[in-house]
């Protein structure tokens, strides 16, 4: 299946299918004099003798968030320059969300911008590889240094997902669930029904496609995140703080952030939009550590959330909340209020 963006210019195609990587890449590479591969270390180890055997001398990215450090950025860009990269060459980034963010940022900045293709290899990356956000981390928090820089294509070869360990599936599922919440009640109901016992990739495939469509809808209407794109950050305000402070996989921290969003939406609206017991039981059954919310440090969380890119003032924190499933709104919550809500959340668990 193919989804094409519809910007005024500089459009790209998202290819989603099994076994498409080498042939699709060959089509794109034909237009360039040289191609440089940035490949996540774990992914290369797993696939260098099979799906990735056509890749010669890749630049290896450290697995996970380690690839989003300043040191890693230096390694990637210096390696590209040492190999003689020029503006009319192509960079191909192969890996999960972190590799895609870091590789995309390197592509955006080296020589002030070189074309690149995202090859996501995880469930999580069905989200992060689309929409042109690239970033590395700062000592002050997640994704604080980055640019919007569109890829030339996204090639999502689903056969690469088949070896994903279950905690990677759980992490990616956080974003799948977020997209369902953004879409509508029926999608959330179907997703929960399909995954009542176990979360399997087979059950998720239709929801991955619908998640990509939901993401595209928000991104195409607001690429630079001044309006509805903020809704894609549902669950991320607290999620990023938890991920950064407690070194938790991104999507797992996002699920904790989504739970707080449900709690906060109920509180702010003054009515029961979400049946919290129902969602807590479902998430806990699948191994999401909702109980850890009981021991978060409010001051640390407040300080990290204070760096969120959505904030518009120092005294308040920007939050995406829900009026109902499928209907988001963005509000600024006074910091003193927000801290109280974090304490109420802890008491409620
Ligand atoms: O694409 C977006 O916009 C999102 O917010 C998607 C998020 O799921 C994703 O994790 C993103 O990388 C977070 O972006 P950030 O702007 O909060 O750093």
Residue bearing the CA closest to ligand 1, atom 12: 128
The answer to whether 133 is a known catalytic residue is: yes
Could you tell me the distance, in angstroms and rounded to a whole number, from the CA of residue 93 to the centre of ligand 1? 18
Report the alpha-carbon distance of residue 208 to residue 220 in Å, rounded.
18
CATH 3.40.50.1970 is right for the domain spanning 2-163: yes
The closest residue, in CA terms, to atom 5 on ligand 1 is 233
- Dmax (CA) for the chain in angstroms is 60
Number of H helices, E strands in the chain: 13, 11
CATH number for 177-348: choose from 3.30.230.10, 3.30.70.20, 1.20.1090.10, 3.10.20.740.
1.20.1090.10
Cβ–ligand 1 contact at 232 (below 6 Å)? yes
- Site to substitute for ligand 1 among 102, 103, 120, 128, most atoms within 8 A of C-beta: 128
Catalytic residue list contains 250: yes
Say how far apart CA 300 and CA 78 lie, in whole Å: 35
How many Cβ atoms are within 10 Å of 53's Cβ, its own excluded? 10
CA-proximal residue: ligand 1, atom 9 (nearest)? 128
Q: Is 179 a catalytic residue?
A: no
What are the mean pLDDT values of the chain's consecutive 10-residue runs (349 residues total)?
Answer: 94 96 97 98 95 96 94 98 98 97 98 98 94 96 96 96 92 98 98 96 94 96 95 98 96 98 97 98 98 97 95 95 98 97 97
Sign of CA dihedral 282, 285, 287, 289: positive
| Pairing between β-strand 141-148 and β-strand 35-40 as defined by DSSP bridges | unpaired
**Would you list the domain boundaries of the chain?**
2-163, 177-348
Is ipTM beyond 0.95? yes
pLDDT, position 63? 84
Alpha helix ranges (H) inside 90-196? 97-109, 125-128, 166-183, 185-194
Ligand 1: distance of its center to the CA of 229 in Å? 9
């Amino acid at each position: 299946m193919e989804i094409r963006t519809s910007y005024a210019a500089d459009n790209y195609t998202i290819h989603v299918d099994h076994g498409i990587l080498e042939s699709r890449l060959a089509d794109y590479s034909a237009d360039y004099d040289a191609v440089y591969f940035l490949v996540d270390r774990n992914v290369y180890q797993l696939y260098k003798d099979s799906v990735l055997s056509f890749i010669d001398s890749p630049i290896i990215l450290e697995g996970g968030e380690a690839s989003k450090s300043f040191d890693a950025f230096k390694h990637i860009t210096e390696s590209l320059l040492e190999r003689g990269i020029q503006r009319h060459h192509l960079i191909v980034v192969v890996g999960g969300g972190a590799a895609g963010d870091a590789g995309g940022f390197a592509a955006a900045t080296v020589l002030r911008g070189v074309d690149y293709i995202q090859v996501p290899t995880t469930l999580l990356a069905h989200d992060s590889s689309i929409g042109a956000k690239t970033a590395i981390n700062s000592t002050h928090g997640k994704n604080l240094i980055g640019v919007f820089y569109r890829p030339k294509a996204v090639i999502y070869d689903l056969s690469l997902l088949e070896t994903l360990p279950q905690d990677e599936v759980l992490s990616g599922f956080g974003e799948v669930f977020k997209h369902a919440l953004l879409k509508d009640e029926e999608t959330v109901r179907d997703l929960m029904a399909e995954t009542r016992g176990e979360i399997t990739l087979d059950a998720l495939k239709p929801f991955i496609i619908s998640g990509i469509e939901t993401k595209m809808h928000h991104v195409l209407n607001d690429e630079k995140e001044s309006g509805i794109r903020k809704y894609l950050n549902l669950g991320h305000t607290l999620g990023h703080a938890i991920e950064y402070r407690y070194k938790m996989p991104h999507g797992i921290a996002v699920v904790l952030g989504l739970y707080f969003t449900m709690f906060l939406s109920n509180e702010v609206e003054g009515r029961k939009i979400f049946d919290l017991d129902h969602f807590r039981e479902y998430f806990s059954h699948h191994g999401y550590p909702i109980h850890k919310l009981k021991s978060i440090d409010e001051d640390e969380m407040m300080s990290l959330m204070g760096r969120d890119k959505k904030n518009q003032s120092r005294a308040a924190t920007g939050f995406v909340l829900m009026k109902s499933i499928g209907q988001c709104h963005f509000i600024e919550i006074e910091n003193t209020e927000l801290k109280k809500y974090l304490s109420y959340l802890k008491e409620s668990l």
